Amino acid sequence: MGDSRIDLWTHPELAAAAVSEDWGAVFRAYRRLTGMSQTKLGERVGLAQPDVSDIERGRRRVTSAEVRQRIASGLDIPQRLRTGDVCTGEVPPVPALVLPGAGRDADVLERVTSVVGTGHRVDAPTLDWLDRLLAEHRRAEDHIGSRPLIDVMRQQLRTVIDLYAGARGPLADRVVRLASEHAQFLAWMAQDQAQTSAALAWYDRSHEWALEAGDANMSATTLSMKAHMAWSGGRGTRCVRLAEAARWSAPGASLGVQGMAAQMAARGHALNGDADAAYRGLDEAQMLISRAAEHPEDEPPWMYFYGETWFTLQSGMAALHLRDWRKAVEHLTVGLDALADGYRRDRTWYRACLAHALAGAGEAAQALSVAVASVQDAATVGRPHSWNELHATAALLHRRGAAEGHQLVSALREYD
């Protein structure tokens, strides 16, 4: 068939692999149909040959939005096959999710919404203790990452659900609200581990319970976090729609929660290359954040991380997508300098992004220094996202002919 990319994507095997975003299958089929080497394909999509090999063999998953965009652009994947951003008149404002089920916790919804008679009554001190415990686990996850906590939090949610049978009146509403918060945290941890189906199921579960409890803040937060997932998957239009839905569907949400939704929409616009819309959204988000900072007591407990520092880092991410390398370096550097040491996982992620921005700005030596300093934490608490971002940095350095690209690949291989 040769390298006729107009006809190439009519091949059923290649088209099916693209629609399902099975990038290993895409690479294998593309190379078989074109006779292209892994090195040449890597040059086309901005990856080093070892990365192409790892993706083909299933040893590396593509979770970076930037890498997905490079693959789609480099291989000229037709828009009709890019399922994440197809926009027709038939698509609803908030894309529906078709899920096979909620995984191995499929009985949770039935248990939390059905009253099972027991002799145990719930009291406020017990729920206060569970609130504090959840807050401690959230902060622990910032430092040790999500993997060690997932099973712990599943069991803790079961404890909350077991309390529902003995709850009456306002306490019953509070139990449902607490269950919603646990489900949202489980969703975030699944998302952090690139377990997309589980994360979507838990976000749906959390959103439903938030609506039952009348919790506008959590209802909006779950939609913003789904927008974050769409952004992570390179789906800019879906990200914008979900973020906008977070605002219009929960008008009673706090200023901070509204600000989070506004900046998520801005990041979606940045992913789509719409700089004007992105920067307008960021300006609005900053205004909301500043107003929220005047009354922190009005913000829900899971928003403890959200403030000027986090917003500055997110602005750096938007600039990174827009390839405004210098602005990305500036925002990420300022944000990292202000980020508390306890945020080990986030510090690792943003340092990997800073290395990427430095590589884009032509600062190869500095990019290598920042990246190498992040490798160990990326391997420990930053897989897969920080890890993939470091690989993307190595690929960018390699494409630009910088020797530092090979040095970073060597550093990464020590932890593969």
Average pLDDT, the chain: 84
Using a 10 angstrom Cβ sphere, with 0-12 exposed, 13-18 middle and 19 or more buried, the burial of residue 107 is exposed
What is the average pLDDT across 374-395?
89
**More confidently predicted of 357 and 161:** 357
pLDDT tens per residue, range 53-84: 889 988 888 877 778 888 888 888 887 776 54
Q: Produce one character per residue of 370-385: b if its CB has 16 or more CB atoms within 10 Å, e if not.
A: bbbebbebbbbbbbbb
263: helix, coil or strand? helix
What is the reported pLDDT for 120? Answer: 53
Tell whether the model's pLDDT for residue 416 goes beyond 90: no
Most confident segment among 206-210, 363-367, 410-414? 363-367
**Residues in contact with 123: Cβ distance below 8 Å, sequence separation at least 6, in sequence order:** 171
Average pLDDT score over residue span 5-12: 64
Higher pLDDT, 342 or 97: 342
Residue 6 has pLDDT above 70, yes or no: no
For 129, which DSSP code? H
Tens of pLDDT, residues 243-271 = 999 999 888 999 999 999 999 999 999 99
Token representation of residue 4 = 């006729």
| Helix, coil or strand: residue 138 | helix
The pLDDT value given to residue 269: 96
Tell me: the pLDDT tens digits for 87-121? 333 333 333 333 333 333 444 444 433 433 444 56
CA angle 75, 87, 224 (to 5 degrees): 100
Distances (CA, A) of 65 to 219, 242, 268: 25, 17, 11
Tokens of 292: 């929220």
Residue with tokens 């943003």: 350
Residue entry with tokens 């086309």: 44
pLDDT of residue 13: 75
Question: How much is the pLDDT for 101?
Answer: 37
Q: Give the span between the Cα atoms of 337 and 113, in whole angstroms.
A: 46
Burial 230-247 (b: 16+ CB within 10 A, else e): bbbbbbbbbbbbbbbbbb
Q: What is the pLDDT of residue 7?
A: 60
Q: How many CB atoms lie within 10 A of CB 148?
A: 12
206-234 pLDDT per residue, tens: 999 999 999 999 999 999 999 999 998 88
Q: 142-186, pLDDT tens digit by residue?
A: 888 888 888 889 888 888 888 887 788 888 899 999 999 999 999
Q: Which of 388, 384, 390, 379 is nearest to 357 (CA)?
A: 390
313 Cα distance to chain centroid: 14
Give residue 2's pLDDT. 41
Number of C-beta neighbours around residue 39 at 10 A = 13
- CA distance readout (Å), 402 to 152, 242, 399, 406: 44, 39, 8, 8
For residue 410, give every residue at least 6 positions away whose Cβ sits within 8 Å of its Cβ, in sequence order, or none.
none
Q: Residue 382's pLDDT is what?
A: 79
For residue 39, the SS3 value is helix
| Mean predicted confidence (pLDDT) in 365-384 | 92
